[in-house]
Structures are given as structure tokens and as C-alpha cells.
Amino acid sequence: MKFLRNLLAAVLGSLIAFGIVFFMFLIFASLASTEEGVSVKDDSVLELKIPYPVQDYTGNSDDDPFNLFYEPVMGLDEIIHAIHIAAEDDDIKGISLNNNFLMAGISQAQAIRKALENFKSTGKFIYAYGDFYMQKDYYLATVADSIFLNPLGGLDFKGLAAEVLFFKDIQDKTGIKMEVVRHGKYKSAVEPFLDDEMSPENREQIAALLESVWESMVTEISEGRELSAETLNSIADTLGARLPDYAQASGLVDGVLYADEYENRLKLATGTDLEDKQPVVDVQDYMKRSSKRKIYSGKDKVAVIYAQGDIMYGEGGPNIVGQGLITKALRKARENSQVKAVVLRVNSPGGSAITSDIIWREVELTKEKIPVVVSMGNVAASGGYYIAVGADKIFAEPTSITGSIGVFGTIPNISEFAEKIGINAEQVGTNLNSVDYSLFEPMSPQFRGYVKEGIEEVYETFLRRVSDGRNISMAQADSLAQGRVWSGVEAKELGLVDELGGLDDAIVAAAELADIEEFGIRKYPRFKSGFARFMEEMASARSDGVQTQLQEEMGQELYSVFSELKTVVQQRGIQARLPYTIRIR
């Protein structure tokens, strides 16, 4: 008994000691993060290196020490703000773009590129250097005055492509399948479960979308490099920039240099002696300094509300659009007497139809009191378009993916698999429809009819929202719908959006609608603190460990496919979701 008491005391003492050390660490980390801002020397170069995934908005304090426990992310709003402040900072003489494998969407890259164009208009220089340029990295780099490439590097410039995986044959072989009900001939989110090849309609919309996005990229690259679109497409067709010497000969880069030679170019540009060290400030450090300076200021406010991630029923979070956080944010904004307008920043492929409609309703209620303007990010499609369509004005980037006005439902079924392995399920119920569906039984025509009825009702409601929001007839809305996706350029031509532009353009438009000239920005929502997230995830540590192990064993590419399949299987209720995932590299 004495042994057990001593053992318990030792364990308890160790836990207390660990807790004290742990919280002392947090205190020191917090103190370190609140030190005075980063010092910037004269004739400094801002190094724009973006090594972490980019989100439109992080929504958490940089001073939260528990953020140390999570994979770092960078906020697009903070990156662009830092570039704007650097343009007016006399200590910053230029920007060095030094980035490989940019982990951001093409519209996010386009937004950063526009901010860099504004920076360059002040007369300051931008140079770019890369060991290897993927197409998205190169697209961003073409804003620079000069682009340099490592002698043993490469440049991936070949045009855009998309790949869709199909699962019909494996469903037939295993007996494990997804029952599908949909509306919209282009609503191809579920096509991989229905066929073993791409439908003509799906091929048509993917080709048109890629062409439109590529055309937007080529237009800006053409202006940056002073090469015609025909020349650029010829280089892409022949892989004419695949080697560093080819890239220089084709005019895609200005020089083939090692990193130390590039550093000497920076010194020459800033007037620094070649024997001295070039003062450089990292953009992540500069973001801390620039956060203390504001571009917009005034008693009146424009609220910017970020809706980013899949739309799912519930509270939501940094990567999930839930009705909880978004409706609270909209209510806070319209009930705050200082807030004169709202900009809803949408970066979502859609998801739950009922959640989309709940958020749409809150946009309508907000619009009755103050103007609401939408800014579309990488994607604002299906449910993402649903929550946007009621706004007074909609802005999209040329490369934004939008539309996809259609709905579907998927229900897993393993009846054939169960029969193969000898499982028989029997049901007992009190009423005719109390046992409406079983995973182990084929879907009945009657139940399919009920699901179809719900799909049609949601689709009609979706069309009505589009018809009312865009001031067009139901027939016109239907002609633009059927689940088809559009680029921002196409959406502007079709009247699904009002203007091409970024978040800053939307903010200015919102202020104009509210008839205010001087105003500050208030951002919503605020996500859970690092401590709250840490405690939640401690409770589910076993699940997270399994997920991490799967990712390590499968590799990132296969794990991405697994994650997408998992998302489809976990969907609940009728979905208004983008038909496929497009990754532009």
C-alpha cells in the first residue's frame, strides 16, 4: 500500500513539474513574441519568401504561444498589407522574390502579383530568383524587373491540365459503391462514381475553364516579359524553357546565376558595396512590423468577413465555413453602429446546402441595413456562390472559379459487398417508412424518389436565389446553371459577377456604397485560441496520430486522393459543391 502511495505521489509530482515547465515555456514564448518590432536598416531588401501554405485569413493573434504547436500558415491579407506598407517605407529599396513551390491558389498568387505591381509603380525594384520555377511560381515572378534562375535549375512552363479519377469499375468489383442523385448535366462531382470515363459535358467545362485561367495567366506574363501570347504558347508547346539556357534564350528569364551572384545584383540595385552584407528583412518578420501600421483608418468601419473552406453544418473554423461563426459575424457587423458596410470574402468550393441557405439568409438580413459586397478568392463555387449571390455587388479575380449552380446527394451502399461475404441484414420498424434506407440493402425506387424530390427542391431554391440576386429570369439562371463552372472572366461576361478585382477593390466599392470616405477595417470572425484548439486536439490525439501515420505511409499524392474520398463519404444531406478539385502548379 505504501509503495502505491509513493508511486502515485511520484507520478503526480512529475505531472506538476511538467506542467510548471510547460507553462513557463509558454510564458517565455509569449514574451519573446511581444518584443519590439523588427528593425529595418537603411537600403534594405524585403525578401518575399513564402514557405508555408497561404490562407486568405488566419484569424488568430500572432502573440498566442500555442500557435507554436500547429503547422504554420501565412495570411494573404497580412502578406499584401506588408507589401503595401513596404511601398511607402523609405528603408525598403526593393523586393527580392525568392520562392519555390508556392503553396497558394492561383487567385491568391494573382492578388499578391497585383500588390507587387503597385509596389513597383513607386519606382522601387523587384528582382526574382529561383532554383526551380513551377508555373505558379513563375507567373508570380513575372511581375519582377528581372528574373534569374539557378544554372542547374529548371522552369516548368507547359500549360494547364486536370486529371479526374473514376471509381465505377472498383465499385463493381468490390460491391462497395455510392448511390447518387443529382441535378445538373455538368454536376460532375459524382461522375466518378457513375462511369469509368469523363462525360463530354464534363470534358467541355474543364477544358473551357483551364483555357480561361491559362489565358489570364498568359496575358499577365506577356505584359511582364514583353513577349506575345503566341510566343509564350509556342514555348509551352515545345517545352522551350525546360533547361536554364533554354529559358534564358526564350526570354522567360534574364540570367542564369548562382545565389551569391544574385546577391551581388541586389547589392548593385541598392547601392551597397559588394564587400558589405546586403541588409535583408524576411517578409514574416516584416509582417509583424507592418501590422502596427494601417492603410485604412477612420471612425467608420468596413467589416471584412472571411468564409474559407468547405461549407459544413456547425460552428465552423479556420478551414470550415459553418453557419455558427459566419452568422455571428454578420450579426455583429450589422448591429455595430460603427460598421457601415460589409465585404464577404468567399473562398469555398461549397458543401452543405442547408448551411449555405442559412448564411444566404443572414446576408439578406444584413443587406437590409448596410451594403454587402462579395470578394471571391480562389474559388467561390456551388455553395460558395450560393452565399455570395445575394450581395449588392460581386467582385471576382479573373482566375477565380465560380458558378457550379447545381446540387447532388451521395449515399454509401455496401449491399453487394455484404452479399459476397455472407452478411444479411434484417430490419423491423413500426411504420411503413420507419426503415427508409439501410447501408446493407439496395436503395429502393421509393427512397430514391424521396431523395430526388429533395434535390429538385434545393435546386429550384438555388435558382431562385440566383434569379433574385442577379436580377435575371429563372430560365436565364437555369441556362447558366446545371452545375457548370466558370472562371471569373467568364462569370463577368455572363453576369454572374459584377466586376473583376481583388479584395481591396471590393472594400473600396463597399465604402462607396455606404457613402463614406475615411474608414477603418474590422475583420471577422475570430477563431478559437491556440489553447482551446490544443485542448480539443489533445482529446483526439489518437485519431490525429493515425492520420499522420497514414499520410506518412501513403505519401502526399495518394493521401490527397484518400482525403477527397473520405470527404465524399462523410457528406451529410444535400450538397451544393464544386464538381472536382483543380490544382494548378
What is the pLDDT, as a whole number, of residue 31?
Answer: 44
* Euclidean distance between CA atoms 57 and 13, whole angstroms: 41
What is the pLDDT, as a whole number, of residue 533?
Answer: 56
Using DSSP's 3-state secondary structure scheme, residue 263 falls into helix
Which residues form the catalytic set? 187, 382
Cell 483551364 locates to 210
What is the pLDDT, as a whole number, of residue 20?
Answer: 54
* Euclidean distance between CA atoms 314 and 354, whole angstroms: 11
What is the pLDDT, as a whole number, of residue 30?
Answer: 47
Rg (CA), the chain: 26
Instruction: Provide the 8-state DSSP code for 37.
Output: P
* Euclidean distance between CA atoms 171 and 416, whole angstroms: 10
Helix residue spans in 336-430 (DSSP H): 353-367, 383-386, 415-421
Using DSSP's 3-state secondary structure scheme, residue 291 falls into coil
* Euclidean distance between CA atoms 297 and 249, whole angstroms: 48
Q: Domains in the chain, start-ordered, CATH in brackets?
A: 44-158+239-290 (3.90.226.10), 301-429+437-577 (3.90.226.10)
Per the CB < 8 A criterion, the answer to whether 206 and 401 are in contact is no
Q: How far is CA 328 from CA 21, 494, 529, in A?
A: 38, 33, 17
* Euclidean distance between CA atoms 400 and 500, whole angstroms: 10
* Euclidean distance between CA atoms 575 and 563, whole angstroms: 17
Distance of CA 151 to the CA centre of its chain: 33
Peptide bond before residue 371 is cis, with ω within 30 degrees of 0: no
Q: How far is CA 492 from CA 213, 220, 335, 488, in A?
A: 13, 18, 32, 6
Look up the pTM and report it: 0.85
Query: Residues of the chain whose pLDDT is less than 50?
Result: 21, 26-36, 541-545, 584
What is the pLDDT, as a whole number, of residue 89?
Answer: 96
According to DSSP, the residues that pair with 129 across neighbouring strands are 148
Q: What is the SS3 string spanning 511-535? A: HHHHCCCCCEEEEECCCCCHHHHHH
Tell me how crowded residue 292 is: count the other CB atoms within 10 A of its CB.
8
Helix, strand, coil % over all residues of the chain, rounded to 5: 45, 20, 35
Grid coordinates given for 394: 460581386
What is the pLDDT, as a whole number, of residue 362?
Answer: 98
Tens of pLDDT, residues 288-321: 989 889 999 999 999 999 999 999 999 999 999 9
Helix residue spans in 271-387 (DSSP H): 283-290, 323-335, 353-367, 383-386
Q: How far is CA 558 from CA 190, 442, 554, 564, 567, in A?
A: 19, 30, 6, 10, 14
Ranges of beta strands (E only) in 382-425 are 393-396, 401-403, 407-413
Helix residue spans in 304-397 (DSSP H): 323-335, 353-367, 383-386
Per the CB < 8 A criterion, the answer to whether 488 and 397 are in contact is yes
According to DSSP, the residues that pair with 306 across neighbouring strands are 345
DSSP string, 210-246: HHHHHHHHHHHHHHHHT--HHHHHHHHHHTTTSSHHH
Tens of pLDDT, residues 100-153: 789 999 999 999 999 999 999 999 999 999 999 999 999 999 999 999 999 999
Query: Would you state the torsion angle of the CA atoms of residues 463, 465, 470, 471, taken in this order, to the nearest 10 degrees?
Result: 90
